[in-house]
Amino acid sequence: MRVGIGELRDVTLIEGTAGPVDDDATKDAFAIKHGWDPRDETDNYAFFRIIPERILAWREANELTGRTVMRGGIWLN
């Protein structure tokens, strides 16, 4: 999967494997950390865990070189 986070000029792209989260302990931890529990909403929400393989991040065009900060699941310097 690939997910983009951020605004037009401040972007993080995460590529990796995603799968559903079924255990209540992880869902409880999410609710505690964020102060919001999607399970209390009337809409249907799903929880997914992303295992990143590649992450790219940049703000401006001058940062396009070297924007890969993770490759093969390993952080780069």
Q: For residue 30, what pLDDT is reported?
A: 95
Residues 6 or more apart from 4 whose CB is under 8 A from it?
Answer: 11, 12, 13
Residue from 26, 31, 29 nearest 41 by CA: 31
* The predicted structure's pLDDT at residue 15: 97
Q: How far is CA 3 from CA 13, 23, 40, 51, 57, in A?
A: 6, 23, 25, 12, 12
- Which domains are present in the chain? 2-75 (2.30.110.10)
Over its length of 77 residues, how does the chain's per-residue pLDDT go in tens digits?
A: 999 999 877 889 999 999 999 999 999 999 999 999 999 999 999 999 999 999 999 877 777 777 899 999 999 97
Per-residue model confidence (pLDDT) at position 51: 96
Give burial (CB, 10 Å; 0-12/13-18/19+) of 52. middle
For 17-30, write each residue's pLDDT tens digit: 999 999 999 999 99
How much is the pTM?
A: 0.73
